[in-house]
Amino acid sequence: MLTYQIRPRIFKHAAGEQLIFPALCKICFHFQPPQPFGAQAGGGRTAVKAVAASALFNANSGQHMIESKEPLSPLDVTIEAPTRILRLSGTTLTVSQQFASVTEMQEMIESIYFALPSLINIPFADPPYIERVDGKVGSASFRWELDRWHMEFRTTTQQHQEERFAKAWERMGIISELHRRRLVAGLHYFHVACRLARASSIAGEFVAEVVLNLAKSLEVIFPPAGDGRTRDAARTGLSTLGFPDDRIECDFLPAMALRNEIDVGHVELGLFKMDQLKTIHAFTERAEGAFREMFERLIGRIESGAGDIAHHELGPPRAEAIALIDRLQRCTQM
C-alpha cells in the first residue's frame, strides 16, 4: 500500500527563514478537482439536488460531466478539536496546530495527504486528491515538495520526427498480420503504461499500474514454452534481441518480479524503509526507455527478416473466461 506514492519530501522555505519548533503552525492542503468543493460550476459529476443542470458528453472519449445552473457555493466547514482547528474553505483545508518538532508536523501532513482523500472519495462523486501542501511555521512560510525527481526527454528534429511518424505508418503492415497478435498486445500494454505515467496528478499515482502493464508486455511478447516459467522465457527472448544478462536482470525482469511480489498484482501491507522505496522507484523511473528500446529491436528484427514473434492462432477465449462472463451476465440481469 502506497509503495509507489510515498516519496522523500522536504520543507522548502525562503532563504534566511528557519522553521523553528515548537511552534503554532498553519498547514494548507489544496484539493482538486474544484467542482465538488464548490469552487467551479462544471468539470465533474457533482450535481446540486433539485436544481436544473446540463449534462455534457464527449462522444469521442466517452467522458461525461454535469454542470448545475446554480452550482454549490465554496464549501465552508470548521471543525474544532482539543489540539487543532480545521477549516475547509472551498478547495483549501487549513489545519492550525501546535507542533513540537518537524517530524511531528510531517507525520500529520502525510496522514492527511494520503488518507483523507480516500475517505472523502466515498461520499463524493468526484475522486479528490491533494495537489500541493504549504503553510507557515510561526511566521516562516514553507512548501512541502519532492526532495528529488527524475526527468527524461527525447531530442528530435523536424525531419526526424516526421520520419518517425512515416515509419510508424509503414509498420502497420507488420502488426496487421493475424499471427502477430502477441505483438499488437505487447504494444498496447506498453502504450497504456506510458499513458498512465503521463496521466498522474500526484507523484507515483499510477506507477503500480505502469509496472503491471510492463510485466504484461513482457509476458505476451515472450510466452513460456508450456512450463509456466515466464521469467525464463523473457530472459531467452531478450537475449535473442541482443540484450546482455545484466541489462535483462536490471532493466526488464524487475517488472515481473514487482508485479508478483510488491504491491502491484497482490496486496502489500508491509512497511518499507525509505531507502528500499528509493530502490523500487529508481527502476520504475528508467524502465520506459528500456522497454522502448526492446520494441525497437523486436520490430527491427521482424522487418529485417532475422526473426519473428511467437505466433498466436486466433481462437475463442479460455473456458474459465467464458464462465466468468456468464456469471456477470446473470448478475446484470438480476
**What DSSP letter does each residue of 282-330 carry, written as one string?**
HHHHHHHHHHHHHHHHHHHHHHHTS--PPP----PPPHHHHHHHHHHHH
DSSP symbols for 76-93: EEEEE-SSEEEEEETTEE
- Burial zone of 310 (CB within 10 Å; 0-12 exposed, 13-18 middle, 19+ buried): middle
**Cα–Cα distance for residue pair 108/39, rounded to 1 Å:** 26
pLDDT over 90 percentage in the chain: 91
The whole-number pLDDT of residue 286 equals 92
pLDDT digits (tens, 9 = 90+) for 239-261: 999 999 999 999 999 999 999 99
Summary mean pLDDT of the chain: 95
Torsion angle (degrees, nearest 10) of CA 111, 117, 121, 126: 180
pTM for this structure? 0.92
Confidence of residue 308 (pLDDT cuts 50, 70, 90): very high
pLDDT surpassing 90 at residue 188 = yes
Phi, psi for 12 (deg, rounded to 5): -85, 125
Residues 6 or more apart in contact with residue 238 via CB below 8 angstroms: 222, 247, 248, 252, 294
Q: Chain-centre distance of CA 89, in angstroms?
A: 28
Q: How is the chain split into domains, by residue range?
A: 9-38+72-146, 159-326
**Cα–Cα distance for residue pair 270/2, rounded to 1 Å:** 10
> Which of 96-100, 173-177, 217-221 is the least confident region?
173-177
**Cα–Cα distance for residue pair 255/287, rounded to 1 Å:** 8
The whole-number pLDDT of residue 16 equals 86
The whole-number pLDDT of residue 113 equals 98
Query: Under a CB-based contact definition with an 8 Å cutoff, are residues 293 and 252 in contact?
Result: no
Mapped onto helix, strand or coil, the DSSP state of residue 234 is: helix
The whole-number pLDDT of residue 225 equals 82
pLDDT digits (tens, 9 = 90+) for 118-131: 999 999 999 999 99
